[in-house]
Structure 1
Amino acid sequence: MNSEKEIQYAIDKFYKIISGSAGERRNWNEFKSLFFSEDSSLASMKYNADKECITKGMDVESYIVGLCDFLKSNDFYEYGFNYEIKVIGSIASVYSEYAAKRKKEDSNIIKSGVNLVQLIHNGHEWKIHSMLWQDQL
């Protein structure tokens, strides 16, 4: 596999693990293994009613805890597309769009946006160092 395919595989695996039916068990150990460290940064960006930029930063464990509450009672399928991958040595930057549905076969998109992902090659494989995303829908 070349670097770009390995990188896209890691990000697609991220989406695959968080996707599933309500209450379905996710492999959180595999999810954690996608990251460079448990301190890797994940952050969502939104605007409040006053059009001020609000970010919510979290580490991997905080992200899992927050998402688990939602996934207990919600079907959720998210996937990435339109990847733009730039690799320089052992670091990579990825722009991707994403969309989410309640059911895999649904045509109705419940959420979409943009993901910016930075990865590090640790000598063996690509690991996610940080993610920043903004919902557009």
Structure 2
Amino acid sequence: MKKLLILVLLSVLSINLQAQDKQKDKGEKPEKETVEFIVDSTSVLTLDKTIETLYNVISGEKDEERNWKQFKFLFSSDAKLIASGKDKEGHLKVVYMSPGDYIKSSGKWLVENGFIEKEIHRNVDVFGNIAQVFSTYECFKSKTDPAPFMRGINSIQLLNDGERWWIVNVFWSQETDKHPIPARYLN
């Protein structure tokens, strides 16, 4: 029985290798390998590490996959990501998203275009097991860009359950000509 199983496995491996060779002969690209991401459970043990991980996990160069497992791990079960800004008609709007909704609406764009979000200043208020963080950010398409294409402030609310930090909400607004970032939220 073992010999039969080994023969079957070798046959499957041989067929797979032959298929890859045929793709190379025809000039075809082999199927893109998917990256298996892991979750770093230490990323939520401190407030600083949680915020750092939030920025790191959504940032990446063009065509660089994001670790969406790690992203989801940062958030409480009912967490919201809330974008604010003006629509095409100039009316102020907010859009409420779960972490999964954010991935669906923005994930592909982040990978196709490149998106590096860097924190440049932080104000933190903590009371008991809750924290409010005003985190000023700059956004780039690549780490090599000389200047950001966008800036703004993330208002991040977090909860510490005694074991880790959970992001409860991320509510953000981009800087505009009419609403520049105040000096107290810059370095």
Same fold (TM over 0.5): yes
Please give the alpha-carbon distance, in whole angstroms, between the structure 2 residues aligned to 1:98 and 1:13: 14
Higher strand share: 1
1:85 maps to 2:124 = yes
Please give the alpha-carbon distance, in whole angstroms, between the structure 1 residues aligned to 2:72 and 2:96: 17
Q: Tell me the equivalent position of 1:25.
A: 65
Worse-matched range after superposition: 40-49 or 80-89: 40-49
Two-structure CA RMSD over aligned residues (Å): 1.6
Q: Tell me the equivalent position of 2:49.
A: 9
> Residue 75 of structure 2 aligns to a residue in which SS?
coil
Q: Please, which runs of 5 or more residues in structure 2 have no aligned partner?
A: 1-44, 177-187
Please give the alpha-carbon distance, in whole angstroms, between the structure 2 residues aligned to 1:49 and 1:74: 22
CA offsets 1:29-77 (integer angstroms, 9 cap, x no match): 111111112x201111002355421011101100111121202311111
Q: Tell me the equivalent position of 1:62.
A: 101
- Taking a change above 3 Å as real, the CA distance of residues 50 and 25 of structure 1, as seen in their structure-2 partners, is closer
Check conservation: 1:12, 1:79, Cα contact below 8 A.
no
Aligned residue pairs total: 132
Structure 1 residue 80 displacement after superposition: 1.2
Worse-matched range after superposition: 22-31 or 117-126: 22-31
Higher helix share: 2
Structure 1 residue 79 displacement after superposition: 1.1
Greater RCO, 1 or 2 (C-alpha within 8 Å, sep 6+): 1
Q: Tell me the equivalent position of 2:185.
A: none
Worse-matched range after superposition: 49-58 or 79-88: 49-58
> Residue 40 of structure 1 aligns to a residue in which SS?
strand
> Residue 36 of structure 1 aligns to a residue in which SS?
strand
* TM-score, structure 1 normalization: 0.89
Which of the pair has more CA radius of gyration?
Answer: 2
Q: Tell me the equivalent position of 1:136.
A: 175
> Residue 118 of structure 2 aligns to a residue in which SS?
strand
* TM-score, structure 2 normalization: 0.66
Worse-matched range after superposition: 28-37 or 41-50: 41-50
Q: Tell me the equivalent position of 2:141.
A: 102
Structure 1 residue 124 displacement after superposition: 0.6
Q: How does 1:118-129 map to 2 (within 5 A)?
A: 118-129=157-168
